[in-house]
Amino acid sequence: MKRSSATLAIVLLGVLLASTFVVGVGTGPVTIRPARVAEIVRELALGREPAAGASETERRIVRDVRLPRVILAGLVGLALAASGTVMQGIFRNPLAEPYLLGLSSGATMGAAAVIALGADRISPTFVPAAAFCGSLLAVTIVYRLGRSGSTVSDGATLVLAGVALSALFASITSFCIVVSSPDQTRGIVFGMMGGLAGAQWHQVGPLALVVLVCVPVLLAFARDLDALALGEAMAAHLGVNPAWVQRTLLVAAALLTASCVAAAGTIGFIGLIVPHALRLVVGPDHRGLLPTAALAGAILLIACDTAARTIAKPTEIPVGILTALLGAPFFLYLLRRRTAAGRRPWGADA
Amino acid sequence: MSWRGAWAAALGVGLVIAGAARAAFPVDVPDDRGRSVHVAGPVKRIVVAGPLLFAQIVDELGIADRVVGVAESPEIPERFRAIPRVGELGAVSIERVMALEPDLVLGAYGPSRDGLEAAGLLVYTPAPADDIAGVLRTIEQVERTVLGESRAAPELARKLTTEVTEIESRVAGKPRVRVALLYPLPGSPPLTSGAGTPEHELLVRAGAENVFADTPKYHRVSYEEILRRDPDAIIVDPSELDWTRTNEVVSSLRAVRAGRVLAVRPSTWVSTRFPDTIRRVAAWLHPEAFSVPTPATASTPPAEARP
């Protein structure tokens, strides 16, 4: 029953993703007729010669502005939702999420430190590498704290640790900004506040690569995550090595988060909202939950970004404002529900 | 020539203001918050807390020797280099300003401004200029605040407008070049200068057509809109030249492909040296108009515009 509902959800979400993509590419400050947009996308996808219909400008708007932006939004949403799902599974905590546990601010700090030290001039690849290190540092600290007891420690403690870590990393980032030259400050601010407004094709490639490598890894461990939900002792009994699974998945989650930060800056709460919503629909089985949450993450961020660049016309609002507007009340709701019930809101009470 | 007409009218109004303003202390000068700043007596000690424009104004007006402190900025004029610094632009240290015991803090803005006023210091920040007439008015207001009357400002205004008129006459009748002024911003599309900014007026007088003339003041414009308008030439901050080459959208613009990118420091638009900026832009847009020596008519002073 669960299995077929998950398959159905994947198909429906696939269709919804395709429609969101079409609306996203069809919408923008410059009005281009939907038929034209479709014609241009078809041309580009099939590598055909430009037809007579669309003008060169329209073609460039669709190709150089809208497509990279919508695809980047989709990849970032997908990666953040997948990381969130995995982190909630590993920590068996409904509030675990890359943004709330400090992975995003760790990535920002890593990149800021490298730019402030001038190391990005040796090689620009040092910036995403340092973002990954920062993210990995955050997840390592959180993991150690989470394991300080015999079982994964109390949920509130974990989130509080994430809050403290985020504050620490944010202050180090601010320090880097203050001590660096105007050029470096510009590099840090532009790099870390990138958002989706200036999305370009060269940002799409590396993120797509990371997603293509990491998401299959996450999916391959879905069954082990389900075993972990029964408790580490039970998982070990089922032939799963808990520490190995947890570490591998957390490294993948850190890599996904850091790549998102490097491509589009910090975008919060996607990893919180999406897995919860999907758990209600397809249940807690990670083989169904992970792919559906990933698809829904892509849909949600493309939709938020399309709204972000149209509702405040002629200007744009950063997409992080919208995701926080949705996510922060949701977070409070989860917190309240959890406190009221005196237990975790999903079936994994340790 | 409607532009010429408007120009003459602006100058006329400026001179009327200047003439009417001749008065000794105390004086009341309007500031950016719509208040009237009351200056009781002569100003002997000035802290320049605002951008380069204010340092330039006190310099041009010959009252630079009264400056006892300046805000930190990478573009402090040579003659102010040895003067004590009072902190970053927009965030000056209230204590350091107080320690200098100034009679006037000029151009303060940002979070520290209210603190300076609360500390009992006289703060004067004129309204930001929307056009060239606004820059000239700022010069006049600063002089009146410091000296209680207009002395050098009217003559300076005449000199600056004469220079602009000369440049304008060179590019008159030339086909206008479609130009966009672009400043990239983090986390949002680039900023441009539209109608109601000194940059816009300077561009138009330099023989350009501002492709974003319809955007009000300083506004963010989407990359889509930039592609759609595809200007023939673009002007950016010198530190953003790299951006024009690395950004996939900007580097594909007609202007960038044709190499028509000019780097102009943002502080040189709203400046007492704006004629130099216009001349640079005009000569870049219309080099043929500047290959011959200055026309004889321009070397003679223009007819007095005094009513």
First to last CA, chain A: 26
- pLDDT tens across A55-82, in order? 888 888 888 889 999 999 999 999 999 9
Least confident of A198-202, B44-48, B170-174, B275-279: A198-202
Domain B175-285 listed as CATH 3.40.630.40: no
What does the pLDDT read at residue B64? 93
Least confident of A283-292, B182-191, B226-235: B182-191
Least confident of A94-103, A220-229, B95-104, B292-301: B292-301
Is residue B93 predicted with pLDDT exceeding 70? yes
Is residue A268 predicted with pLDDT exceeding 90? no
> What ipTM is given for this predicted complex?
0.71
Q: B189, A198: Cβ pair inside 8 Å?
A: yes
DSSP for B181-208, written as a single string: E-EEETTEEEEEE-BTSHHHHHHHHTTE
Same CATH fold assignment for domains B2-155 and B175-285: yes
Average pLDDT in the B30-41 region? 93
Burial of B25 (0-12, 13-18, 19+ CB in 10 A): middle
What does the pLDDT read at residue B302? 38
Tokens of residue A130, six digits: 């340092």
Q: A200, B219: Cβ pair inside 8 Å?
A: no
From the list B214, B179, B176, the residue with the least C-alpha distance to B195 is B214
Contact call for residues A127 and A115 (beta carbons, < 8 A): yes
In a domain, A248, yes or no: yes
Minimum CA–CA partner of B239 in chain A: A183
Minimum CA–CA partner of B74 in chain A: A182
What does the pLDDT read at residue A142? 87
What does the pLDDT read at residue A118? 87
Q: A314, B222: Cβ pair inside 8 Å?
A: yes
* Percentage of the residues of chain A whose pLDDT score is greater than 70: 90
Average pLDDT in the A273-282 region? 89
Q: Which residues of B230-256 are buried (b: 16+ CB within 10 A; e: fewer)?
A: bbbbbbbbeebeebbeebbbbeebebb
Is residue A344 predicted with pLDDT exceeding 90? no
Contacts of A318 in chain B (CB under 8 A): 187-188
What does the pLDDT read at residue B293? 61
The pLDDT mean for chain B works out to: 86
Tokens of residue B5, six digits: 């007409």
Is residue A270 predicted with pLDDT exceeding 50? yes
What does the pLDDT read at residue B89? 85
Minimum CA–CA partner of B251 in chain A: A64
Q: Which residue has the tokens 């303060």?
A: B108
Minimum CA–CA partner of A263 in chain B: B187
In a domain, A350, yes or no: no
In a domain, A349, yes or no: no
Q: What beta strand segments (E) does chain B contain?
A: 27-30, 36-39, 46-48, 67-72, 85-88, 91-92, 104-106, 123-124, 177-181, 183-185, 188-193, 208-210, 218-220, 233-236, 261-263
Where residue B276 falls (left for φ over 0; alpha for ψ -120 to 50; beta otherwise) is: alpha
Contacts of B222 in chain A (CB under 8 A): 28-30, 65, 309, 314, 316
Tokens of residue B253, six digits: 């613009």
Q: B189, A68: Cβ pair inside 8 Å?
A: no
* Confidence category of residue A154, pLDDT binned at 50, 70, 90: low
Least confident of A327-341, B40-54, B197-211: A327-341
Query: Under an 8 Å CB criterion, which residues of B touch A?
Result: 74, 184, 186-189, 215, 219-225, 227-228, 230, 239, 247-249, 252
Is residue A331 predicted with pLDDT exceeding 50? yes
Of residues B260 and A192, the one with the higher pLDDT is: B260
Of residues A203 and B178, the one with the higher pLDDT is: B178
Q: Which residue has the tokens 């400043």?
A: B183
Residue A157: give its domain's CATH number.
1.10.3470.10
What does the pLDDT read at residue B9? 60
Nearest-by-Cβ selection for A193 from B186, B247, B248? B186
Least confident of A28-42, A297-311, B144-158: A28-42
What does the pLDDT read at residue A194? 64
What does the pLDDT read at residue A123? 85
Is residue A345 predicted with pLDDT exceeding 70? no
Sequence-distant (≥ 6) Cβ neighbours of residue B217 within 8 angstroms: B130, B193, B194, B195, B196, B197
Residue type, A40: I
Q: B224, A202: Cβ pair inside 8 Å?
A: no
- pLDDT tens across B286-305, in order? 999 988 665 544 433 333 33
- pLDDT tens across B208-254, in order? 999 999 988 888 888 988 999 999 999 999 988 988 998 889 999 99
What does the pLDDT read at residue B306? 34
Q: Where are the alpha helices (DSSP H) in B21-99?
A: 52-60, 94-99
* Confidence category of residue A186, pLDDT binned at 50, 70, 90: confident
- Identify whether A124 is preceded by a cis peptide bond (ω within 30 of 0): no
**Residue ranges making up the domain that contains A323:** 2-341
Q: Smallest CA–CA separation between A331 and chain B, in Å?
A: 25
* Percentage of the residues of chain B whose pLDDT score is greater than 90: 64
* Confidence category of residue B103, pLDDT binned at 50, 70, 90: very high
B2-155 belongs to which homologous superfamily? Answer: Nitrogenase molybdenum iron protein domain (3.40.50.1980)
Q: How many domains does chain A have?
A: 1
d(C-alpha B241, C-alpha B193), whole Å: 18
In a domain, A42, yes or no: yes
* Confidence category of residue B187, pLDDT binned at 50, 70, 90: confident
Q: Smallest CA–CA separation between A132 and chain B, in Å?
A: 21
The pLDDT mean for chain A works out to: 86
Of residues B75 and B54, the one with the higher pLDDT is: B54
What does the pLDDT read at residue A140? 92
Domain boundaries, chain B: 2-155, 175-285
Helix axes of A155-179 and A126-146: crossing angle, nearest 10 degrees: 150
Is residue A342 predicted with pLDDT exceeding 60? no
In a domain, A348, yes or no: no
What does the pLDDT read at residue A153? 53
What does the pLDDT read at residue A309? 83
What does the pLDDT read at residue B1? 43
What does the pLDDT read at residue A64? 87
**Overall pTM surpassing 0.90 (yes/no):** no
Looking at residue A23, what DSSP letter applies?
H
Nearest-by-Cβ selection for B188 from A28, A182, A197? A197
Whether A66 and chain B come into contact, CB under 8 Å, resolves to yes
What does the pLDDT read at residue B2? 52
* Percentage of the residues of chain A whose pLDDT score is greater than 90: 43
Q: Smallest CA–CA separation between A108 and chain B, in Å?
A: 14
What does the pLDDT read at residue B296? 45
Whether A337 and chain B come into contact, CB under 8 Å, resolves to no
What does the pLDDT read at residue B208? 94
What does the pLDDT read at residue A150? 39
